[in-house]
Structure 1
Amino acid sequence: MNLLSALEKAFSESPQNLEENPRVAYAGTRGSYGEEASLSFFKGTGELFPCKTFDDVFEALNQGTSDYGVLPIENSSTGSISTVYDLLSKYQYYIVGEEEVRVRHCLLAPKGANLQTIKEVYSHPQGFSQSQDFLNEYPQWQCIPYYNTAIGAAYVAQKNDPNLAAIASKRAGEIYDLLVLAEDINFSQTNVTRFVIISRELKFFKDPTRVSIAFHLPHRPGALYEIIGVFSVFSLNLCKIESRPLLNQNWEYLFFVDFTGNISQNTLANLIPIIQEKADYFQFLGYYPQYDQTKI
């Protein structure tokens, strides 16, 4: 089935509803921001499956053991999470929704530890980046990247060593019985991570307002300018553009674009063929409801 036929079918079946007991894979473990995003989006229903890596989430969908995946795609302080963009391109799955989570990092350690005993700190690289100002005050600490903030907290709890600490949520500290040595250590107090909900199938839930696409352009002057102009003609608002290098094609890029506006089936049916004609490659990533900002 070609893309326009798939879109027509999805529109004819919309709005779709979530299954009663969906199987949801997320990156992390109990106490992670990914679990929080999953619980919020699916309103506590369904069965959650923690995964160690982002790739594991996609593989859970690929093997049919999960109906949806929940993955962080960008942070308001440190920007896009490039690995997730690369995996979206690789697996060709769809974004069906989004969720935002307020990030409040804490330095967690076993009972008996204090700031003077710490020698090693475990967290996801994003946790380190978002807490860099705090970490700069303790240059003697060795920061060790780990799969996920909460998985790092679980590891520190298991080791029960006062020389070890983790950067994770306060909830992770409560779950793994760790002390909070420092609270709100991220450098931005308005730190938010945006998560996307992915599916093997193209689905449109109620009131979709945001479209995500990806495309590769011919390497010639004005190619990107021409594409950007198309969105203006259709009175669409580009709310994000991201580029990722193409493997085995030096200095060539895959562009990921999100846009909003007065979007209808007719809009997409007219817009997409124009972009496809100008692009060497085109991928439709999803049409889904934007997160309600009043909830943050």
Structure 2
Amino acid sequence: MASLTELREQLDAVDDEIVKLFEKRMDLCGQVGEYKIQNGRKVFDRQRESEKLKSVESKVSTEFNRKGVHELYEQLMSMSRKLQYQQLVQAGALGRLPFIGVSSLHAGNARIVFPGTDGAYSQAATKHYFGENCNCFYVQTFREAMEAIEEGSADFAVLPIENSTAGAVDEMYDLLVEFENYIVGETTIPIEHTLAGLPGAEISDIRRVYSKGVALMQASRFLNEHSDWQQISVANTAIAAKKILEDKDKSQAAVCSAYAASVHGLTVLQDQINDDLDNSTRFIVVTNQKIFLEDADKISICFELPHTSGSLYHLLSHFIYNDLNMTKIESRPVKGRNWEYRFFIDFEGNLADAAVKNAIRGLREESTNLRILGNY
């Protein structure tokens, strides 16, 4: 029997041959790519790849090797596609993505909509992004804000997309798919909950507390210290503050921001009641125009996948091969199709970059219903 050293030497010799054959294969794939460019053929041919996998599987002797050669050739064909996508970029065959780069959002006279009411965190985010004197107004729901920019009664909407403790705002992901609106900016503000009541009220007077359900959860440690208080969920923290003012009942209080308390003439009975004092929410700025700032460096997309083994793995490889840093991935159920999911991904880049065009071309050919949600 050969020694371990001898076996390794034989493996090295085989590997040298594999590397030479790999380079020969990639050279041929490049020639295939040139042919496809000249003749307007698609890079991804699902039927051809399926037939190839069956062919190579039939040429091995064991079940273990069958699975191994299947995985190997999936990778080889994936590398071939990525080479051909790069050739398309170099040949200028990818063209421009349907978004226009702009130097600024020209928001000086813009109308900006936010969900909630005066004093809402979303209003604070709006003024943080567009300035204190921006022309803004509120609607009750996220959907109404998306409808306002779709129909043109507002130029931009500022909407929450993610909280550092509560996670993603699922409804917003669904609305981004439903509406033809696009993300053009983002801003993050700290979420600093207070307990606010009528002027002259004291904590000992409180019997009922109103706020958004998530806010009640985020202040649960403080609220649990007062287990006799009734906790009542409303649509928005600022709406809760407004209710306290309107009801004029000293036994009622709101969990809201100090800003909302000030807007509605309430007194802060206890500040910093968050369980997590580092709590913050990320808001997106949305418009109905396909535009992006020329210095934008973050892209959001969504897509669906075929129900096949390894499909997500192969899609994500497009980020690796194009040296793009993926920063976030979320999934949401596809309505009307049980156990199927839509994936939402954020990654670094600009729509004018060749690497981004290359990755998006590959993602579009190999996924279903890919949408660019924005570059910001």
* TM superposition score normalised by structure 1: 0.90
| Structure 1 consecutive aligned stretches of length 4 or more whose deviation exceeds 3 Å | 261-265
1:121 paired residue number: 209
User: What CA distance in whole angstroms lies between the structure 1 residues aligned with 2:167 and 2:325?
Assistant: 20
Q: Superposition RMSD on alpha carbons, in Å?
A: 1.7
| 2:133 maps to 1:42 | no
Q: How big is the shift at 1:92?
A: 2.7
Contact 1:20 1:45 in 2 (8 A): no
Contact 1:71 1:197 in 2 (8 A): yes
Of Structure 1 and Structure 2, the greater strand share is in 1
Contact 2:350 2:375 in 1 (8 A): no
Percent identity for Structure 1 against Structure 2 = 37
Contact 1:21 1:45 in 2 (8 A): no
| 2:263 maps to 1:200 | no
User: What CA distance in whole angstroms lies between the structure 1 residues aligned with 2:198 and 2:284?
Assistant: 33
| 2:323 maps to 1:235 | yes
Contact 1:16 1:203 in 2 (8 A): no
1:103 paired residue number: 191
User: What CA distance in whole angstroms lies between the structure 2 residues aligned with 1:5 and 1:203?
Assistant: 16
| 2:283 maps to 1:189 | no
Contact 2:351 2:357 in 1 (8 A): no
1:7 paired residue number: 97
> Where do 1:11-160 residues align within 5 Å?
11=101, 14-160=102-248
User: What CA distance in whole angstroms lies between the structure 1 residues aligned with 2:96 and 2:274?
Assistant: 43
Unaligned runs of 5+ in 1: 289-296
1:165 paired residue number: 253
Of 307, 314, 332, 1:244 maps to 332
Q: How big is the shift at 1:205?
A: 1.7
Q: How big is the shift at 1:80?
A: 0.8
Q: Which amino acid aligns with 1:137?
A: E
Contact 1:22 1:45 in 2 (8 A): no
User: What CA distance in whole angstroms lies between the structure 1 residues aligned with 2:375 and 2:217?
Assistant: 31
Larger radius of gyration: 2
Q: How big is the shift at 1:23?
A: 0.4
SS in 1 for 2:205: coil
CA deviation digits over 1:50-106, x for unaligned, max 9?
111111101111221100000010011111111111111111310000011111100
Rate the CA distance shift 1:241–1:92 in 2: closer, same or farther, 3 A.
same
SS in 2 for 1:143: strand
The alignment covers a number of residue pairs equal to 283
Q: How big is the shift at 1:265?
A: 3.2
Larger RCO: Structure 1 or Structure 2 (Cα < 8 Å, ≥ 6 residues apart)? 1
Unaligned runs of 5+ in 2: 1-93
